Amino acid sequence: MQEIADEQIQRHLDIIYRTDSGRILATLIRLLGDFDRAEDAMHDAFAVALERWPRDGVPENPRAWLVSTGRFKAVDGLRRRARFDAAQEKIAEQLESRADATADGTDESVGDDRLRLIFTCCHPALAQDARVALTLREICGLTTEEIARAFLTPAPTLAQRIVRAKGKIRDERIPYQIPSEEELPGRLGPVLQVIYLVFNEGYHASSGDSLLRTDLSDEAIRLGRLLLELLPEPEVTGLLALMLLQGSRRAARTTADGELVLLEHQDRTLWDHGQIAEGVALVERALSSRRFGSHTLQAAIAAVHAEAPDAASTDWAQIVALYTELARITPSPVVELNRAVAVAMRDGPEPGIRLIDKLLVEGGLDTYPLAHAARADLYRRLGNKEEARTSYERALALTDMPPQRRFLEKRLRELEEK
């Protein structure tokens, strides 16, 4: 150990907190068996470090020191409370014996701890909104206020959601473990779903004045990288590829004043071509495994767009084929809508309109604003102002998002000007 100044210690601890608090918390949850107890223990450990390290020096393995100190503080606190509640002593003994039997400071065990935590936060027994909130809080390290602000939810409501999720994990004894090989395919889906939902909320904000929330999409990509590092499955690879490829267009998706720019009109020089190269390499790896799913197919579609030097060069035949396969493995009216638009780009507006009209009647998309916006755009391309206007107005009536409303209103004005 070496003696260093208080100010340097504070900076050093700040760095450790930013880079390693997720790992430390995951291990403490394993050792202490409780989210809240582990969070308190971690914060106690950092407080002790701030007091002792200026005097004693920084330990050789700061993360292991913080885990050990946090565990000791938690057990010691239970023992002190045992004077008033004998049950606390029993819990302390159980935690001490469990910690002695399982404590392991290796990188491999820490990786397993983080993977355990991801699967626990995304357990199918929890409601979807609880999975998202708990994942952002416990794995990504966002504060309750940050998550509430991102999803435009009152902070007390969000806090209660997290409390209920932790209570359910405790009361129903949801195991803090990585699923078995047999269980993994069924359990991986909800994890990928949560990560992509977080990404989409950042990339296509469902509410508020801004189209983009870069903090959320960046957190999802970071989480995707972590999951791929810990669990290199093909569909995890495909999900990360999808997020990177979609995220690469972020700088071109809005104007300087925040207005929506459609893919065909984006300035492709603003795309992040390093991110595209990484995404394309990942999707090729996932496809070569022959064990891919819907996220990989969506990434392959994004890769076709990303590799086209301009909108006119897009290989729409390949995109139609990929959407056809995607609709086969994950049937969805929205996937069929995207396929209809691709068909229109390949074969002309009329075939696309016929497919969209069928989806509006049979696919349950009559209240989906993007379906009407797509139909309007195809009629606009045909020069049929009346049908285009009717569909734009229907789309406008169905959306509350300010950026989408401004875009649709602009389209309606353009129809009048022609």
**Could you tell me the residue range of the domain that residue 56 belongs to?**
1-104
pLDDT at residue 254, rounded to an integer:
86
SS (H, E, C) the chain: CCCCCHHHHHHHHHHHHHHHHHHHHHHHHHHHCCHHHHHHHHHHHHHHHHHHHHHHCCCCCHHHHHHHHHHHHHHHHHHHHCCCCHHHHHHHHHHHHHHHHHCCCCHHHHHHHHHHHHHHHCCCCCCHHHHHHHHHHHCCCCCHHHHHHHCCCCHHHHHHHHHHHHHHHHHCCCCCCCCCCCCHHHHHHHHHHHHHHHHHHHHCCCCCCCCCCHHHHHHHHHHHHHHHHHCCCHHHHHHHHHHHHHHCCHHHCECCCCCECCHHHCCHHHCCHHHHHHHHHHHHHHHHCCCCCHHHHHHHHHHHHHHCCCHHHCCHHHHHHHHHHHHHHCCCHHHHHHHHHHHHHHHCHHHHHHHHHHHHHHCCCCCCHHHHHHHHHHHHHHCCHHHHHHHHHHHHHHCCCHHHHHHHHHHHHHHHHC
Does one domain contain both 191 and 211? yes
Residues in the chain with pLDDT < 50? 1-3, 92, 100-110
Question: Quick check: is 96 in a domain?
Answer: yes
Does one domain contain both 266 and 180? no
Does one domain contain both 208 and 115? yes
pLDDT at residue 205, rounded to an integer:
60
Question: Quick check: is 227 in a domain?
Answer: no
| pLDDT per position as a tens digit, 258-315 | 788 889 999 999 999 999 999 999 999 999 998 889 999 999 999 999 999 999 999 9
pLDDT at residue 2, rounded to an integer:
45
Question: Quick check: is 320 in a domain?
Answer: no
Question: Quick check: is 45 in a domain?
Answer: yes
Does one domain contain both 389 and 411? yes
Question: Quick check: is 388 in a domain?
Answer: yes
Question: Quick check: is 326 in a domain?
Answer: no
pLDDT at residue 248, rounded to an integer:
95
pLDDT at residue 304, rounded to an integer:
97
Does one domain contain both 213 and 246? no
pLDDT at residue 98, rounded to an integer:
54
Question: Quick check: is 225 in a domain?
Answer: no
pLDDT at residue 321, rounded to an integer:
97
Does one domain contain both 114 and 206? yes
Does one domain contain both 269 and 341? no
Q: How many domains does the chain have?
A: 4
